[in-house]
Amino acid sequence: MGKIEAVIFDLGGVILDIDSKREADRFAELGLEEYENIFTPTNMNDFFKRQEIGEVIEDNFYDGFRELTATDLSDEDIHEAWNLILTDFMPERMAFLEELAEKYPIYLFSNTNDIHTREFKKRCLDQTGRELDSYFTQAFYSQELGLRKPEPAAFQKVLELTDLAAETTVFIDDNADNIAGAASVGLQTIHLTDGKTILDLEF
């Protein structure tokens, strides 16, 4: 690891654990047993990718979801199951962010969508008493940026907006493709694997 002047964190699987199985199990209970085949980090349907760059918003998400999955689930059922992928914020991880922010400017860059963003922001405030974005110098969400990881252009845009130097900035993610995308633009990277969490990191 070279000289570090800033740190960029992914959210899901890094700061906030995700539970894809809980979400898929709920959709299966609702009759959509093939859900795992259309929404996984490595096999994501284009509909969900478009959602993550803001082209599909909540107003048209539910109808699009029903068309894609050939189901007649209600908006409420889809919304409830869709948010089950999100888990609770862990106090020790949030404390780690607070401590690290005293040493470096820290940033957030998450592939997400408007429905999940509203939900996890609400949970963070409810569970920690703080707005999620307040933990970071700046937070970037793919649906607002119009770009998503692992596209090199997405990382370049974040670097441009923050005026950070890639060679002295560390990007942390649990997804190998995202790590490769970050490395392609010169960012230092930490790939969280094998059950490691941000609490195992040393700066």
20-85 has which CATH code?
Answer: 1.10.150.240
Distance, CA of 176 to CA of 91 (rounded, Å): 26
38 pLDDT more than 80? no
Chain centre to alpha carbon of residue 14: 9
- Residue 195 zone, left/alpha/beta (φ > 0; ψ -120 to 50; rest): left
Distance, CA of 104 to CA of 99 (rounded, Å): 9
Give me the phi and psi of 41, to 5 degrees please.
-55, -30
pLDDT in tens, 46-79: 999 999 999 999 999 999 999 999 999 999 999 9
pLDDT in tens, 111-164: 999 999 999 999 999 999 999 999 999 999 999 999 999 999 999 999 999 999
Of the candidates 90, 87, 133, 83, which has an alpha carbon nearest to the alpha carbon of residue 110? 133
Give all strands (DSSP E) within the chain, no chain letters: 6-9, 106-110, 138-141, 169-173, 188-191
pTM: 0.95
CATH superfamily, region 6-17+89-200: HAD superfamily/HAD-like (3.40.50.1000)
pLDDT in tens, 168-193: 999 999 999 999 999 999 999 999 99
Of the candidates 113, 132, 108, 112, which has an alpha carbon nearest to the alpha carbon of residue 122? 132
Domain boundaries, the chain: 6-17+89-200, 20-85
* Residue 106: strand, helix, or coil: strand
> By the 8 A CB rule, do 40 and 20 touch?
yes
Distance, CA of 30 to CA of 71 (rounded, Å): 9
Which contiguous run of DSSP H or E holds residue 122?
Answer: helix 114-128
